Amino acid sequence: MEKTLGYLREALSNYIEEHSICQEIYEKLEQKNYSSEEEFVKDLGEGEIKILDLILKQEIKHAQQEQDEKRTQELNEVSELLF
């Protein structure tokens, strides 16, 4: 799996019990072999994009607070592709 998508999958794992749509996105990451973030984002539906945008904002903020620059950068790459 592409490294950036690995960070995303890890972030989503924190939300799969709260939101069924997060479980669906997580399963996509597990079941499909995306070659890039762009390919993954193109496979998302409108609802998935909306919830992922909210989650990524939270996760990026948390990574910044923890001064985890690598994680911030990787998650930001996906976030920028959503819209």
pLDDT at 18: 87
Let me know: does 61 contact 49? Beta carbons within 8 Å: no
Q: What is the pTM of this model?
A: 0.90
The residue-averaged pLDDT of 36-57 equals 96
Read off the pLDDT of residues 22-44 as tens digits, 9 standing for 90 and up: 999 999 999 999 999 999 999 99
Q: How many CA atoms lie within 13 A of 12 on its CB side?
A: 24
Q: Considering Cα of 36, then 39, then 41, then 47, what sign does the dihedral take?
A: negative
Let me know: does 50 contact 33? Beta carbons within 8 Å: no
At residue 77, φ and ψ (nearest 5 deg) are: -60, -45
The residue-averaged pLDDT of 7-14 equals 93
**Can you give the residue ranges of every domain in the chain?**
3-81
Q: Tokens at residue 32, please? A: 């499909």
Q: Is 79 helix (H, G, I), strand (E, B) or coil?
A: helix
